[in-house]
Amino acid sequence: MAALTIGIIGAVEMDGYMTGLTNQRVDAAIANEVSDIQLHNPGFLLNQETKYLIPHAGKKADEIRKIANVKAVSVRLKGAAMASSANAGAGISINGVVPDDEYRVSDLHDHIIEGTYLNNKQKIPAVIGQKLAKKLNIGVSDKLIVTMTDSTGTITNGAFLVVGIYKTSNTDFDKSNVFVTRKDLANLIGYPTNAGDEIAILLNSNQHTKAVTKKLNTLFSAEVKSHKLIIQSWDQIQPLLKSMVDMMNYFSYLFLIIVLAALTFAIINTMLMSMMERTREIGMLIALGMNKRKIVRMVMLETLFLSIIGALVGLAISILLVDYLSIHGLDLSSFAKGLNSIGYSSTVYFQVNREFYFTTVIVVVLLAILASIPAMMRALKLQPATAIREED
């Protein structure tokens, strides 16, 4: 029972850790980096050049807002640029956004650690990541010089005032993304203020991603077929992240199988030892007339009772631990630098699917039945006369 309890706790907690870690990464990517769904001009995805605009982006955004389960929509004007200060320079992706729309689509405003988020009352504002701020050695109220190509292909420069510094769990994102207002960026590079080369869509739940993506493909089917528009969900934008989620799910069940396989040998060993210690008792029962069917039933029920009680105790403790860690989290701040470098938070909030609990109980019961077979076979082979003379 103790072995089962400890094994199940280990398997469930490991699943909770891996599921929580991957789900947090997906949620963070959707909330801060890619959103649930994005629309682009195919040329933009190939070249990352601002000139590949989405035709009538504002009108499309209004149509998308009418679709069920769409929570918010943001039209962005993006491009590659060089950011510099008096001390250093760095390549960046500059994001021109409408502050109110971006506030609803992205959680970036929740990650501001200095200054404020963008708003339309500020003059040429910019919000930058903490990593980039340290690299350029600038802070709030300092100027950020941006160099990029304008609509005519000419190199142009512009100065933005840093009004806020953000910090997410992804250091690569922080050091390469600058957010400004779409109006200011459009004026700098000579595009209409309502132009956009990316439409970001946030849904009420990412479980609706496939359904909404299908509706969008139907709504803009003509442009999709003529290769003027491409619609991608978060897992298509970041396939590596999707693969990691699938891999973590696979390893959760693999770890459970390994733990339960080890427990199976423990059950077999325990039941065989039990039969050896009770040889005279079983021999006496057979001599008194107990048939083989009842011997089998006795061994199987004993194994099942021990296994079910051990499994239930293990699950009860596991559920309590998962509930606690889902609220308070597991603090891995000592590994924060390494985790943040690959986009993971240093505090992991555990999550376990109900299916995993159910699967664990079923597998434990089945393994207990299988594990009782060797003990049953030994009991059935006993000869009453020999068994009764067996020394303790």
Residues 122 and 187 reside in one and the same domain: yes
Domain tally for the chain?
2
SS in 3 state form for the chain?
CHHHHHHHHHHHHHHHHHHHHHHHHHHHHHHHHHCCEEEECHHHHHHCCCCCCCCCHHHHHHHHHCCCCEEEEEEEEEEEEEEECCCCEEEEEEEEECHHHHHHHCCHHHHEEEECCCCCCCCCEEEEEHHHHHHHCCCCCCEEEEEEECCCCCEEEEEEEEEEEECCCCHHHHHHEEEEEHHHHHHHHCCCCCCCCEEEEEECCHHHHHHHHHHHHHHCHHHHHCCCCEEEEHHHHCHHHHHHHHHHHHHHHHHHHHHHHHHHHHHHHHHHHHHHHCHHHHHHHHHCCCCHHHHHHHHHHHHHHHHHHHHHHHHHHHHHHHHHHHHHCEECHHHHHHHHHCCCCCEECCCCCHHHHHHHHHHHHHHHHHHCHHHHHHHHHCCHHHHHCCCC
Residues 194 and 164 reside in one and the same domain: yes
Residues 222 and 257 reside in one and the same domain: no
Residues 190 and 106 reside in one and the same domain: yes
Residues 191 and 289 reside in one and the same domain: no
Residues 112 and 146 reside in one and the same domain: yes
Which of these, 110, 95, 7, lies nearest to 48 by C-alpha position? 95
Local confidence pLDDT in tens for the 392 residues of the chain: 787 788 788 888 888 888 888 888 888 888 888 899 999 999 998 888 888 999 999 999 999 999 999 999 999 999 999 998 878 889 999 999 999 999 999 999 999 999 999 988 888 999 999 999 999 999 999 999 999 998 888 999 999 999 999 999 888 899 999 999 999 999 999 999 889 999 999 999 988 999 999 999 999 999 999 989 999 999 898 888 888 778 877 887 787 778 777 777 777 777 777 777 666 776 777 677 777 777 777 777 877 788 788 888 888 999 999 999 999 988 888 877 777 776 777 788 998 888 878 887 788 778 777 777 777 777 666 666 665 665 55
pLDDT at 166: 95
pLDDT at 389: 61
pLDDT at 382: 62
Residues 318 and 213 reside in one and the same domain: no
90 φ/ψ angles, rounded to the nearest 5 degrees: -160, 145
Do the beta carbons of residue 241 and residue 29 sit within 8 Å?
A: yes
Q: Read off the tokens for 274.
A: 């039990």
pLDDT at 96: 94
Residues 339 and 248 reside in one and the same domain: yes
Residue at 358 is within a domain = yes
User: Among residues 166, 197, 228, which one ends one of the domains?
Assistant: 228
Residues 206 and 253 reside in one and the same domain: no
State the residue range of the domain holding 118: 42-228
Residues 216 and 301 reside in one and the same domain: no
Residue at 308 is within a domain = yes
Residue at 29 is within a domain = no
pLDDT at 169: 87
Which of these, 25, 18, 29, lies nearest to 233 by C-alpha position? 29
Residue type, position 369, single letter: I
Residue at 60 is within a domain = yes
Do the beta carbons of residue 195 and residue 77 sit within 8 Å?
A: yes
pLDDT at 242: 81
Residue at 235 is within a domain = no
Residue at 234 is within a domain = no
User: Among residues 198, 228, 258, which one ends one of the domains?
Assistant: 228
Residues 264 and 200 reside in one and the same domain: no
Residue at 37 is within a domain = no
Q: Read off the tokens for 292.
A: 């083989």
User: Among residues 228, 261, 291, which one ends one of the domains?
Assistant: 228
Residue type, position 27, single letter: D
Residue at 184 is within a domain = yes
Residues 323 and 350 reside in one and the same domain: yes
Q: Residue 265: which residues within 8 A CB-CB, separation 6 or more?
A: none
